[in-house]
């Protein structure tokens, strides 16, 4: 059903929880006519039609019961097939992450943050799948009012809130690790399991409160499935600027600074490693902790930092009455961003597998359970215990994080 310009189904640019809002006149969509006299009430006998693939539909038939949603041709393969496969595969890997880090010997504040990042990353994509399958996989550009509202709520509110949770949890992870390597006394006081859980609970509350703007507004209006911005935009503009700053730009720049500082700390520890002769193995393990956090942060920044800058430039130009990209180009950029986003979610799993020896052991144990093969749990627990027991931690490490990476 794809055409060169796309399917006609609304004037909304957001296809998932993380899309930028494209507002203003659109001149690059499929031509259609839909003049309806609202004063005449429902099913008043209007004869306006729109033409698509030689099929003619009476517009008044869809005006009150079905709503048009815009689909571009490239969104069918990307959002209809690639996105769901990546989301499902990433979720399966994140289930292994959760099972691995929640084992008794792996539980600590840092690993709990990694677990909750895996949960929020998975839910960011999972909550969009029903609407994704219905709209893009089936190529439905005419939606019922219920499907329109469900698609918009899951993408603009629920999924976006979960992604914001992931962003802030990644920032929490970076702050935790920075305190542990540079200010160990503060880390012992603040980077505890109870305080970490309290911080994550607060993150969930604040994230869903921030995006509650989209929880109650109606998206199925006048036969279109869209989120339109009125002029003057008022609270809508305030919401856009808040999400741009709090969900993209500020966390990205803060994590970039933290990553640079942690890299410098690793170099300092490398020069001083000879001082800790009795804890050489411990030093390597604890450097691995920092390496994991640095990799997680860098992987997070690859899609997020460019998108935050793009978001800032586009919103600023729009408020100045200018436009830098046509709608089609904007939508293509968002699709690329979303694919990179879910790939970054998945790459975290391989970082843990490559760097964390005890995590690899836990994954092997879990896979033995799945394949019904006997697992030597006593040997596994013995490995974790023996590799983490005894000795004082490296400067900047707390005893709580001492057992997380082997």
pLDDT score of 65:
65
**pLDDT band, very low/low/confident/very high, at 113 (cuts 50, 70, 90):** very high
Copy the structure tokens of residue 280. Answer: 């050489």
Ordered by where they begin, the domains of the chain are 60-388 (1.20.1070.10)
Which tops the pLDDT comparison, 264 or 251? Answer: 251
Is residue 325 predicted with pLDDT exceeding 70? yes
Is residue 37 predicted with pLDDT exceeding 50? no
Look up tokens 């994550």; give the residue: 200
Residue 213 near residue 49, CB atoms below 8 Å: no
Look up tokens 């998975």; give the residue: 122
Q: What is the mean pLDDT of the chain?
A: 75
Copy the structure tokens of residue 374. Answer: 């006997």
pLDDT score of 281:
60
- pLDDT tens digit sequence for 196-252: 999 999 999 999 999 998 887 777 777 778 777 666 677 778 888 899 999 999 999
CA 98 to chain centre: 17
Is residue 396 predicted with pLDDT exceeding 50? no
- pLDDT tens digit sequence for 296-313: 999 999 999 999 998 888
Which tops the pLDDT comparison, 90 or 266? Answer: 90
Of 211, 207, 187, 222, which is closest to residue 34 (Cα–Cα)? 222
Element (H, E) at 221: strand 220-221
3-class SS shares of the chain: helix, strand, coil, % to 5: 65, 5, 30
Which tops the pLDDT comparison, 114 or 390? Answer: 114
- pLDDT tens digit sequence for 352-385: 999 888 888 888 887 777 666 554 544 544 444 4
């Amino acid at each position: 059903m794809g055409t060169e310009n796309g399917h006609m189904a609304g004037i909304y640019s957001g296809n998932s929880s993380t899309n930028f809002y494209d507002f203003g006149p659109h001149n690059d969509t499929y031509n259609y006519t839909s003049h309806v006299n609202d004063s005449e009430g429902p099913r008043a006998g209007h004869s306006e039609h729109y033409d698509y693939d030689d099929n003619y539909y009476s517009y008044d038939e869809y005006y009150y019961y079905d709503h048009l949603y815009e689909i571009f041709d490239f969104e069918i393969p990307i959002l209809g097939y690639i996105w769901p496969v990546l989301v499902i595969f990433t979720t399966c890997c994140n289930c292994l992450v959760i099972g691995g880090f929640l084992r008794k010997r792996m539980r600590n504040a840092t690993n709990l943050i990694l677990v909750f990042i895996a949960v929020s990353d998975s839910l960011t994509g999972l909550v969009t799948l029903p609407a994704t399958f219905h709209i893009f996989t089936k190529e439905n550009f005419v939606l019922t009012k219920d499907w329109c509202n469900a698609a918009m709520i899951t993408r603009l509110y629920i999924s976006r809130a979960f992604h914001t949770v992931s962003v802030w949890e990644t920032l929490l992870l970076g702050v935790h690790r920075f305190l542990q390597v540079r200010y160990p006394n503060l880390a012992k006081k603040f980077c505890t399991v109870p305080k970490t859980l309290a911080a994550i609970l607060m993150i969930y509350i604040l994230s869903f409160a921030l995006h509650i703007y989209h929880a109650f507004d109606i998206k199925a209006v006048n036969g279109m499935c869209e989120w339109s911005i009125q002029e003057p935009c008022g609270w809508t503009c305030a919401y856009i600027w808040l999400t741009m700053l709090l969900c993209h730009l500020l966390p990205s720049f803060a994590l970039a600074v933290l990553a640079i500082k942690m890299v410098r700390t690793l170099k300092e520890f490398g020069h001083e490693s000879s001082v800790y002769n009795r804890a050489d193995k411990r030093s390597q393990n604890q450097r691995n902790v920092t390496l994991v956090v640095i990799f997680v942060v860098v992987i997070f920044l690859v899609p997020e930092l460019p998108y935050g800058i793009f978001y800032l430039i586009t919103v600023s130009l729009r408020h100045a009455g200018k436009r830098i990209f046509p709608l089609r180009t904007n939508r293509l950029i968002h699709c690329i961003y979303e694919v990179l986003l879910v790939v970054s979610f998945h790459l975290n799993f391989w970082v843990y597998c490559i760097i964390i020896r005890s995590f690899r052991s836990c994954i092997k144990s879990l896979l033995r359970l799945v394949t019904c093969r006997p697992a030597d749990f006593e040997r596994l627990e013995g490995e974790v215990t023996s590799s983490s027991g005894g000795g004082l931690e490296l400067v900047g490490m707390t005893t709580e994080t001492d057992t997380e990476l082997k």
